[in-house]
Chain A
Amino acid sequence: MAKKVAFIQGNEAAAHGAIYAGCNFFAGYPITPSTEVAEVMSLELPKTGGKFIQMEDEIGAMAALIGASLGGAKVLTSTSGPGLSLKQENIGYACIAEVPCVIVNVMRGGPSTGMPTGPSQSDIMCAKWGTHGDHPAICLVPASVQELFEETVRAFSLAEKYRTPVMIMPDEIVAHMRERVVFPEPGEIEVINRTAPSVPPEQYKPYDTSFGDVPPLAAFGSGYKFHVTGLNKMQDGFPTTKAAIVQAEEERQVRKVEANKADIMKWEEYLIDDAEIVIVAYGSTSRSARYAVNAAREQGIKAGLFRPITFWPFPEERLLEISRKTKAFITPEMSLGQCNGVVKGCIEGNAPVYGIYHVDGEPVSPDEILNKMKEVK
């Protein structure tokens, strides 16, 4: 049987990807340019028996998401810039209480209201450090509508597998452009669900590390009763200020992601092997970069593209390796150097890292990248 194919928008693909992954609860708040995710979820979720709620604000949407996830639901919200700022409070809660949830954040201009309809890539540090305190961060940055669908499915699997929030962050161009999407058959993309407890209710502890760094999560209402708090907690979920326990738990929460980087990280290397100039670009900007790399090769410039698909955790070891034989890096991005700083931070000064920065609502063009390559060659 021929596969289902559609010509759809990125935001629609994110919603369909969520439903493919088994999402059965969505809570959101209207915000440009992500609203279509909510609109599609309000239409499609009830058809599958799932539930959609439009909350009173962004904070409430994130809160409802966590409540539903603790009730056993697979949950999604969508937002953008100012909404991401507001959601940070409860994103931190989901980190410390270790509650799986997926957040689509469509990157628009900022700070504050900024340019609501313009594309941006300036939320990337906010995805890692937006909520206060030390915490794990997983952030995916797809570059096409098909990839947005597939990465949304993966976001659910990562959230459920590691009991942590996962952000999927298309820039506004990826979120709003329309492309051909081939829908995978059920089972074609792996969908991982959270590990259910293997012990009876009376023995259950929500943070029982005897099961490893990611303890099984029971659902409220499923016969298990336990306590969940945003305070530093012990294995049984109750608060503690005991130094050794707090230190160990905080380290474990971060280690869940750090020690499993190989499973979470994903990137694409294009013509990297003999590249003297490596462009590090993601999202829609990587499409300009790929065009520029091809054009440069035609002109005899040995250019390559390194495209993070997982932005956090960042593939720093691999980039360091590449940097040992690279003459220069260029980071075209729709921000004032957020990605540039990350690249500089992991290559130990092995090569200069040049930036091309747009915060004017315009994408970085292939010509700009090509010209920069000629300039630094």
Chain B
Amino acid sequence: MAYDYDKWIRPGKLPHIWCPGCGHGIVMKGLIRAFDTLQLKKEETAIVSGIGCASRLPGYIDCCTLHTTHGRAAAFATGLKMARPEMKVILCGGDGDGTAIGGNHFIHACRRNIDMTYIIMNNYIYGMTGGQFSPATPTGHKASTTPYGNPDPNFDIAKLAIGAGATFVARGTAFHAAQLDKLIVEAIQHKGFSVVEILDDCPTTYGRRNKFKSVIEMMNRLKEISVPVKAAEKMTPEQLQGKVLTGVLYKEEKPEYCEQYAKVIERAQVGK
């Protein structure tokens, strides 16, 4: 299928700020393909982001875009979605933005099950500020603020989303672009709060500190560690050691927040 990238890219805004080899561009193309597949209307689609490299994505896409403060995308978006329930609201950002400074807003957006889709690009690091460790940086790995290796345990972002009540949780990688398209499309179609964690790479601030010789090596690692959920069912715990599940990890139907609030309005207006 031919996709209309030009339709969705804002004229004059490319080239983007991302480093050569960064996976964010792959994610952005996936998002555009999903928008194109779903024939979304630009005026009725909003992308809301926080701060960081991944949060610069909305500036390149031609729709209603809101680049907010660090970690706060989910909270800004919640207000927008309540004011405009008919809009498609997409959140995007990185692992540090979403799970450290924005962790509280993230889990509560999951809990409310408000109809939005959160694209979280997990490159294991704070890239824009030069490579400090994030809640997603694996234990023992190097960052500019863990020169002796990271002592912190890391979050499993998808599990965090499931635990917090998100009703659609998927994981993909920047290597598996075709799978990513399907996951994003399904996430946007899902009624409720959907999360797509995308394992990504940051060659500049993470790769070079953790003995990745090239972007290709980082991409190959994403390929090697990924196991689709279906395939994992047939694998032993030993075989799954060090692997990461990809695909739709969780899905359920639950009352959506804006619809629930519409019922509050109905109850308040009874007998009025």
* Residues of A bordering B, CB below 8 Å: 25, 27, 43, 46-47, 49, 51, 53, 55-57, 59-61, 63-73, 75, 89-90, 93, 201, 219-231, 238-239
Contact = CB atoms under 8 A, between A and B. Distances in A.
A68 B42 contact: no
Given A90-B72, A230-B69, A56 B268 contact: no
A27 B86 CA distance: 20
Contact of A67 (B65, B80, B108): B80
B66 interface: yes
Contacts of B83: 25, 51, 67-73, 221
Given A65-B79, A73-B83, A223-B43, A60 B108 contact: yes
B87 A66 contact: no
Contacts of B81: 67
A222 B87 CA distance: 10
Contacts of A231: 67
Nearest to A201: B43
Given A63-B75, A220-B80, A226-B64, A56 B59 contact: no
Q: What 6 A-B pairs have minimum CB-CB distances, sorted nearest first?
A: A67-B79, A71-B83, A64-B79, A63-B75, A46-B268, A68-B79
Given A57-B104, A225-B64, 15 more contacts: A25-B79, A47-B268, A51-B261, A55-B108, A59-B72, A63-B76, A63-B105, A64-B82, A219-B84, A220-B80, A221-B44, A221-B84, A225-B63, A229-B66, A231-B67
Interface string B78-96: 1111111011000000000
Nearest to B80: A67
A71 B58 contact: no
Contacts of A68: 79-80, 82-83
Contacts of B272: 47
B62 interface: yes
Interface of B: 13, 42-44, 46, 48, 58-59, 62-69, 72, 74-84, 86-87, 104-105, 107-108, 261, 264-265, 267-269, 272
B62 to A, nearest CB: 7
Contacts of B86: 221
Given A46-B268, A64-B75, A70-B66, A224 B43 contact: yes
Chain A interface main SS type: mixed
18 contacts: A49-B269, A56-B75, A56-B104, A56-B105, A59-B75, A63-B105, A66-B68, A67-B79, A67-B81, A68-B79, A72-B84, A89-B72, A90-B72, A221-B43, A225-B64, A225-B65, A229-B67, A231-B67
A201 B64 CA distance: 12
Given A73-B83, A227-B59, A60 B66 contact: no
Contacts of B77: 67
A62 to B, nearest CB: 8
Contacts of A219: 84
Contacts of A56: 75, 104-105, 107-108
Nearest to A72: B83
A208 B94 CA distance: 32
A351 B74 CA distance: 52
Contact of B69 (A47, A63, A64, A225): A63
B264 A46 contact: yes
B63 to A, nearest CB: 6
B217 to A, nearest CB: 33
A71 B59 contact: no
B75 A230 contact: no
A244 to B, nearest CB: 20
A221 B46 CA distance: 8
Given A72-B83, A225-B64, A229-B67, A67 B78 contact: yes
* Interface-centre pick from B67, B75, B105, B264 (highest chain A CB count, 10 A): B75
Nearest to A233: B67
Contact of B65 (A64, A73, A89, A228): A228
Nearest to B269: A47
A23 B54 CA distance: 34
B37 to A, nearest CB: 20
Contact of A66 (B13, B74, B76, B264): B76
Contacts of B107: 56
Contacts of A73: 79, 83
